[in-house]
Amino acid sequence: MFPARGEGKGQMDQLVVTSKSCPDCSNSMPDTAAFCPGCGRSMDAPERLPEKVGFLTENIAGALAYLSFIPAVIFLLVEPYRSHRFVRFHSIQCLLCWLAAILIACVLRLLALVIFWIPLLGPLLLALVATLSALAAFVLWIVLIVKAAQTEMFKLPWIGNYADQHAQTDHVG
């Protein structure tokens, strides 16, 4: 209990602060805390167990969809995966990421043809852009796999909204 400030009369009102504890690390915190100060776990949504889809759980199927475009296509064609919204969302987002990566690679390749002719600076700039692009793609790939494995509907800008829109609609078949 913490005393509140009195308003001119010198009275001390008492403020009651209730607390809760984190289910992961048992650290105490105020009831209004959004994240645990000890471990950083979100306190907003209760954690739910992944559903079973076919012989895989939904988080494993969602993570597998990002390994390449082949599992994503298979999950969109085979029941019960294609009728499960979580797996369908990650499969569609994976395919859209592949499409975006191919388009970006084509644009960078065309740009490289022009930049390469700049003496000395051109090849160095191309090496820097290629390295940063590959690193960004790798980090994005890891983040998508981890978020799907955590049963999270992690949406990428533009691509994620489109994937979510199409994952919500009933599939044809």
Q: What is the pLDDT of residues 115-139, one digit of tens each?
A: 888 888 888 898 899 899 999 999 9
* CB of 72 closer than 8 Å to CB of 65: yes
pTM greater than 0.75 (yes/no): no
Q: What is the pLDDT of residues 33-58, one digit of tens each?
A: 777 888 877 776 555 667 777 788 88
Please name every residue paired with 15 in a beta bridge, in sequence order, or none if there are none.
2
Q: What is the pLDDT of residues 140-157, one digit of tens each?
A: 999 999 999 998 989 999
Which residue shows structure tokens 């590959």?
134
pLDDT at 97 over 50: yes
Average model confidence (pLDDT) for the chain? 82
